Amino acid sequence: MNQSYLKMSKDELKAQYDAVLAEYNDIKTKGLNIDMSRGKPGSDQLDISDDMLKVFDDGNFKTEAGFDVRNYGLLQGIPECQKLFADLLDVEPQNIIVGGNSSLSLMYDYVNQCMFLGAGFTPWSQQGKVKFLCPCPGYDRHFAICESLGIEMINIRMTADGPDVSQIEEYVKDPMVKGMFVVPKYSNPQGITFSKETVKRIAELTPAASDFRIIWDNAYIVHDLTEKSDDLLNIFSVLPERNKNMVVEVTSTSKISYPGAGVSCLASSEENIKVILKRLTVQSISYDKMNMLRHVKYFKNLDGIKAHMQKHAKILKPKFDAVIDTLNADLSGLEIAEWNEPNGGYFISLDVTGGSASRVGILCKEAGVTLTNVGATFPYGKDPSDSNIRIAPTFPSADVLKQAVKVLTVSVRLACLENLIK
């Protein structure tokens, strides 16, 4: 157990500082060049899906109903892929639109539609200044969608059970609060799964806006790292009738099959699906149904997906462990940082004290390790307490990762010591 920096004398801190600085300078000489900025699967993870590319060797391109997936048509997706995603999300197939390779696009296009064409009513943008609630730290690309479309973002605290619903309940009294993005399972970056109570309270919100929409980005729905996976309550199962159009769920196989060439889907009420299809009919003739059938032929069913995810977990768990072990060894007891040990997802979230996260980012960069931009996990890229660092351990190999995390812990200690000896 390390001794707490907060209990050290000035002299002890100075000695620590000198030692850590020496260690940092030593690392710097190594000329590392490691990218830990994005939640990208490693190439060993990409390999495990490659048999998927052989499923058409049988020359059969037809759906069960006899539709040739190579041709135009079936805008809502092929029925067997709707079924696969319906089973994954525990909804009905008719409530699913199967998309292209990007659930981000499904989200962007939907929010764009709500803004300028309407969620089935007057476009949000014609009602006044649109606001979104942003549980944070969160996913930078959700915030980017809001910012690019001119949506004002309001920070919502994250707790160990998910977003602070009391705050949300207050804010949704404003009819110009039109929506909220959340990652309900293994949240980005904290790995938090919303508790049953949180999901229920969200489902039972009473927003002033009848066109209030929650984008339920279930990106890590089957992305467990261990046997003890988190349980997420299916929000559709607890939605009261009055809120039946409130939730739009998305997910994708980006981190199941291929990040660049997976299949995405959107699930929502019959009315929302109708509104979305009306726009989609104009926007596209159909998404890539060959890729849909490729996935269906390969995974076959939900069990197939789950078995496949165990292969990913086997690759990822040692990487997460490497990070956690190093954080534990180097930072525990110092009282300058806290971190999570997620049961799934793609990130480890590290909070440092004293507004030193930006400084850590700079120190890491200078030592050859690129982190996700510090601040990126908050709206407008501004972390109010400058404390959150997102660690994305999936892409580097375990060996490289160990080096990178060492750079990180040394940088954290150095940045905090700089503050403490001031």
Q: Would you count residue 127 as binding a second copy (CB under 8 A)? A: no
Q: Are 404 and 396 in contact (CB under 8 A)?
A: yes
Is residue 161 within 8 A of residue 194, CB to CB? The reply is yes
Helix (H) or strand (E) holding 199, with range, is helix 196-203
- Residue whose structure tokens are 């000896």: 421
Q: Which of 326, 284, 297 is nearest to 75 (CA)?
A: 284
Taking a C-beta distance cutoff of 8 angstroms, is the pair 304, 81 a contact? no
Does residue 50 interact with a second copy by CB under 8 A?
A: yes
Between residues 128 and 333, which has the closer beta carbon with respect to a second copy?
Answer: 128
Q: How far is the CB of 77 from a second copy (least distance, A)?
A: 11
CA atoms within 13 A of residue 131's CA, in its CB half-sphere: 15
Strands 369-371 and 348-352 turn out to be: unpaired
Q: Which of 14, 38, 365, 402 binds a second copy (CB under 8 A)?
A: 38
To the nearest whole angstrom, how small is the minimum distance from the Cβ of residue 126 to a second copy? 10
Site for a second copy in 233-272 (CB under 8 A): 254, 258-261
User: Which of these segments, 40-48, 186-194, 221-229, 231-239, binds a second copy (CB under 8 A)?
Assistant: 40-48
Residue 105 lies near a second copy (rule: CB under 8 A): yes
N-to-C CA span, the chain: 25
35 binds a second copy per the rule CB under 8 A: no
Query: Residue 318, interface with a second copy (CB under 8 A)?
Result: no
Size, binding site for a second copy by CB under 8 A: 53
Position 70 contacts a second copy (CB under 8 A): yes
Q: In the set 69, 98, 203, 309, which binds a second copy (CB under 8 A)? A: 69
> Is residue 34 at the binding interface for a second copy, with CB under 8 A as the rule?
no
Half-sphere exposure of 285 (CA within 13 A, CB side): 5
Distances (CA, A) of 41 to 45, 138, 229, 349: 6, 19, 20, 17
Q: Could you give phi then psi for residue 270, rounded to 5 degrees?
A: -55, -45
For the record, the structure tokens of 200 come out as: 């229920």
Site string for a second copy, 146-175 (x = CB under 8 A): --xx--------------------------
Instruction: Indicate whether 117 belongs to the interface with a second copy (CB under 8 A).
Output: yes
- Where do contacts with a second copy occur on this chain (CB under 8 A)? 38, 40-41, 43, 46, 49-50, 53-54, 56-57, 59, 61, 68-73, 100-102, 104-105, 108-109, 112, 115-117, 125, 141, 144-145, 148-149, 254, 258-261, 279, 281-291
